[in-house]
Amino acid sequence: MGDAPIKLDIENGVALVTLNRPEALNSFTADMHRALATALDNVEADKSVRALVITGAGRGFCAGQDLNERQRSPNDPPPDLGETLDKYYNPLVRRLYSFPLPTIAAVNGVAAGAGANFALSCDLLFAARSAKFIQAFSKIGLSPDAGGTWFLPRLIGRSKALGLALTAEPLMAEDAERIGLIWKVVDDDALMDIVMKIARQFAAGPTAGFRKIKENLAKGGANSLDAQLDLERDSQRELGLTHDYMEGTTAFLEKRKPVFKGE
Ligand code: LHQ
């Protein structure tokens, strides 16, 4: 039996999920999707976990759909790719985008197709300097999926989104940072140290506040200013009653580091 397609390590409040099919640049098989969903179930069930990191084993992050699984002989009926999206990719993107904890994608190498786009559903993207992002879909006659047509224009604007999707040109990590697709580019050998340090900070942070930040920013793109101001008021009212708000303000006044409980 080969290695498990997903590895899950939990330590110091941080769950590290590793896509683990390095021989195929961690491209997604149905098995890997199922293992990832189970890993995320385990992360959500473990109340000691307060931050999630996703990375790839080996030299790639994720090359999207495993195209071997899609190989057809001429006599097969045409595949229903929509079913694959409904069953695997769309639930994954929805789940990560609204995951109740801060999520970080540590993009260690090439991220192509759905592998580039599902990463955009994480909250913070760090990329190794040698990593690149490829909207590979047009090369095989497809249009971006895994949320790409939603995330890309919002993050980098219509012009860059169309350029990347139509040409399938690789976008190097430094350019991805420059145009706002990702949070930060870092040296390859520093990637995991930097990401895990931030993840541990998140795991010792005000988790309920982080959750509101995610929820409210997600709603901010579609709400009117009026609706958003009301939402901010309601959130602040709720967060103002938490242990962590009290602790944060007390620690500030006492000139010490806060000890957040995440509630
Ligand atoms: C792969 C793959 C791969 C299998 C590298 N599959 N083996 C959703 C729903 C349903 C259906 C369709 O699609 C989707 C969404 C999508 O994600 S569509 C887009 C699918 N992905 C791609 O088209 C990317 C295909 N890969 C590539 O273009 C290149 O491999 C990139 C540019 C990612 C990396 O290039 P290199 O660094 O030159 O590596 P390589 O091409 O030599 O790949 C290394 C190995 O990984 C190689 O196997 P081998 O046995 O020859 O060493 C590749 O065959 C394998 N591999 N991507 N998606």
User: pLDDT tens-digit profile of 179-229?
Assistant: 999 999 999 999 999 999 999 999 999 999 999 999 999 999 999 999 999
Identify whether the C-beta of residue 105 lies closer than 8 Å to the C-beta of residue 81: no
Which amino acid, residue 112?
A
Q: What is the pLDDT of residues 72-126, one digit of tens each?
A: 777 888 889 999 999 999 999 999 999 999 999 999 999 999 999 999 999 999 9
pLDDT classification of 247: cutoffs 50, 70, 90: very high
Own/partner long-range contacts of 214-221 (Cβ < 8 Å, ≥24 apart):
214/98, 214/99, 214/102, 214/123, 215/98, 218/97, 218/98, 221/154
Q: What is the pLDDT of residues 29-80, one digit of tens each?
A: 999 999 999 999 999 999 999 999 999 999 999 999 999 987 677 788 888 9
* Reported pTM: 0.97
* Pocket flag, ligand 1, residue 30 (CB < 6 Å): no
Ligand 1 mutation pick, 20, 21, 23, 25, max ligand atoms within 8 A of CB: 25
Higher pLDDT residue, 72 or 27?
A: 27
* Pocket flag, ligand 1, residue 27 (CB < 6 Å): yes
